[in-house]
Structure formats: structure tokens, C-alpha cells
Amino acid sequence: MELILLERVEKLGTIGDIVSVKPGFARNYLLPKRKALRATEENKKLFEAQRAQIEAENQKRREAAAEQATKVTGKSVVLIRQAGNTGLLYGSVSSRDIAEALSEVSGVAIAKSQVVLDRPIKALGLYTVRIALHAEVVETITVNVARSADEAELQAKGVDVTKEVEEEEEAPVEATEAEAEAPAEATDTEETKA
């Protein structure tokens, strides 16, 4: 299906491009969101007549997004979640969680559709997440997923908290083995004196 793009669409084209897409993508995404028009002769003429107005509106939206981007750039968001000793979360972090936390930190209203997750976040750690404020204005933020505020601070410094938990679990086992051997030696020396 051929369409005329009314705004820039990532990995597809820019304003005014005539692109060929699958019918489902056109019917379910591009046409309902008013990102494109069907490429008929009538629509081509209509687009050319309104091209300046469409580009001016896009420029205004881009400038507003660039202003918001200054408030979002370089921000770090801490999300406290429950997780097992291996660092796997009981659930996952969604784009809605990130959008809400970023809105609180930056003071800019961020929609969940603006958060671009390449893959779901299902483990503790630091993640780089893209925020698409406009098709042409994309910023990155850091998402710190931890079990507590103290762990979040350690992770921000570059410490792997899941390894520390494993080391702490191994240390008591070694200590109890050493304690078990020490009393046995003491009783042996007492028996030899008697």
C-alpha cells in the first residue's frame, strides 16, 4: 500500500515521502495516528497545497520537544523493585513505570508511548533508555533498577550488587566450617593433657 508521510517515521521516511508499506501497518498504525495519507492523486494534490502548513506545524512540535529535551537530558531514574538473590526481578519494569518516574524527576509530562524499550527490563542493574519526545528529538536517560535506595547508590557507582549478595552468602558458610573445626581441636588438646 502506498502512502504519503505527514511526519517523519523512524526507519520509514520523512514528511512528503511516498512509501510502500504493508496494509496492516498502514491500517492499524499510520492512518489512525494521522502520520500518513493514502497516495491517491487527490491526496497528493491536497498534500502539496498544505505542505508548508504541515511543515510549519511539525517545526513547532519539534521546537517544543527540544525545549522539553533540555529538562530530560542526562537524567537518571531510580526504580525500586523486589528481586531474588540472583538479581532477577519478580515481574518487569514497563515503559509506564519509567514514564511516571521520569515525569516526577524532570517535571515534564512523559507519555508511556515516548519511552522506547529495546527489550523488557527483568533484572537489577543500570539501563540506557531512549525517550522519543518527537520523531526528530530523541534523548537517552539512565534507569537504575535496584532493591533499595542503598543498592541504587552502589549501582550508580559501578558496583555489581548481585555479586556482593553471592559473596555474603558464601562467607557465612566458610565461617561456620572454621568454627566447627576449632572446637574439635580444642577438645583434642584437653584430652591429651588429661
Segment 78-121, tens digit of pLDDT = 999 999 988 899 999 999 999 999 999 988 899 999 999 988 89
Q: Are 6 and 37 in contact (CB under 8 A)?
A: yes
For residue 20, is it within any domain? yes
| Domains of the chain: total | 2
Question: What mean pLDDT, rounded, does the chain reach?
Answer: 85
Q: Which residues of 42-77 are buried (b: 16+ CB within 10 A; e: fewer)?
A: eeeeebeeeeeeeeeebeebbeebeebbeebeebeb
190 in any annotated domain? no
Q: Are 147 and 80 in contact (CB under 8 A)?
A: yes
Residue 105 lies in a domain: yes
pLDDT of residue 169: 57
Whether the per-residue pLDDT at 187 is higher than 80: the answer is no
For residue 173, what pLDDT band results from cuts at 50, 70 and 90? low
Instruction: Indicate if the pLDDT at residue 160 is higher than 90.
Output: no
Q: Same domain for 47 and 14?
A: yes
Give pLDDT, residue 132.
92
Domain residues for 97?
76-164
- pTM reported for the whole predicted model: 0.73
Query: Percent of the chain, pLDDT > 90?
Result: 53
Distances in whole angstroms, Cα of residue 36 to Cα of each of 3, 19, 27, 108, 134: 6, 10, 10, 28, 16
Across residues 143-148, what is the average pLDDT?
Answer: 92
89 lies in the same domain as 157: yes
Q: Does 57 fall in a domain?
A: yes
Q: Is 48 in the same domain as 95? A: no
Q: Please report whether residue 36 resides in a domain.
A: yes
pLDDT at 157 over 90: no
pLDDT value for 136: 87
Whether residue 86 lies inside any domain: the answer is yes
